[in-house]
Structure 1
Amino acid sequence: MSDVLASPTLSAPAPNPAARAPLTAALTMTARSVRLSRRNVDAVITSMMLPLMLMLVFVYFFGGAIDTGTQYVTYVLPGILILCAAFGAASTAVSVSEDMKGGIIDRFRSLDVSGTAVLAGHVAASTVRNLFSTLLVLGAGLLIGFRPSASPLGWLAAAGVLVAFLLAISWLSAAVGLLAKTPEAAAGFTFFMMFLPYPSSAFVPIHTMPSWLHGFAEHQPVTPLIESLRGLLLAQPVGTAPWTALAWCAGMLAAAVGASGVLFKLRTA
């Protein structure tokens, strides 16, 4: 009996900090993604400058020929904000695809870092980058004549709608990055997201488009987002547009998070 009592007891191994604290792992992965963005300066500059250049092109090249019933920069800026967010978030697909191709995911798994933490890091970093580029475009819009009349509550609601879209589209981009076999294929998603705001109310009123395009333009997810931002920033009636926009964002987010989990398991099996 004494020998049994004297024998050393086996203790369970100490849990890995990453497994014990998923939030800590996600924050660490976010910091990593931000550092990677700082090293890829040309991509960051492109994601910030392209929407700004498009806004200047539309306002000064085409704005004089487009009748929207108001100053064109006032009409087009909400659409440019969505275009900016979509383009910037779509670059997340390339970042995720590069991680999958480069083999770093295997190293993270050996450290017991979950796939959710890795993807959440990409999404959070993308959201931070896009908020910065959105502020840049908004500031440029103010300089060239955009005059919002939103109340503090209106600004808060507009920011909430925009952040919801950023999160949804960033998670969707992460899923595409897992699905794509190469970063080059993932980059194609960027062009798709840049195209989506065009058949909407972003640049011209929908009623000016061909009749066969009205159905898609009115019921695609970007249109209620743009109408929400435009109404909230200009203190105009928005009806049910914000709720429709948030419903689209919630649906995309749920589908993207679920698909990302499945795809990550399949790619790392």
Structure 2
Amino acid sequence: MSDPVDKRTPGHRLRALIVDDEAAIRRFLRSALIAEAFDVEEAGDIASALSLAAGSKFDLAVLDLGLPDGNGADLIGPMHAAGAPAVIVLSALDDEPRKVAALDAGADDFVSKPFGVAEFMARVRAALRHRVHMQGAVSIYDDGRLSVDLARRIVRVSGHDPRLTPREYALLHELVVHEGKVLTHRHLLANAWDKGDADVHALRVHIRHLRQKIEASAEQPNRILTEPGVGYRFVGAEF
């Protein structure tokens, strides 16, 4: 699977919008993105961000949740309406309810402060891949060990059928379709579960069984990762 940061079309530079009221954070993020050949615009509040989004198309939006004129999550809808960019939200380490709300509102990922350049750019690449996959309707995932044919509903682990239950397959399907994106408990229960018997404990049990069938080590998974208090993320071999 190609990396959208490295495989952009000749002459096209990806454009990013950073929205954070801290100038030092904006400078840090701008430097990291420019080093990866992004064109970058900045805003310190919601009003300025909306003005920039109205006049430009962006591939990536990085939004702080705590802005002086409101909740940064309120920008997620307008950003998607203005061109469906990948959206990463910045949040405090202990701000799980706002992380979950932002993800349910359509953010692709979150990064908890403080963070480093390597972690941030890995999240950027994953978020951009997710958007490319969604737009291109990728139907097959294959990393050499795990393969998932979404069109034919065929799963193979090292060439063998792991014998997934219908619910395990539904969970894997949803995770693979949204590769790189954090899916909240609420999202998975709404999109990969029968109505009426959904609860987070049951979800955890099924995720554990799914890991036992597709991971090299269920105790140290490297494909289905847990985001504590939030949900799960499917990580492809390129993350």
Structure index of larger Rg: 1
If the TM-score is normalised by the length of the shorter chain, which range does it land in? under 0.3
* Structure richer in helix, relative to its length: 1
Q: TM-score, normalised by structure 2?
A: 0.25
Q: TM-score, normalised by structure 1?
A: 0.23
Considering Cα pairs closer than 8 Å and 6+ residues apart, tell me whether 1 or 2 has the greater RCO: 1
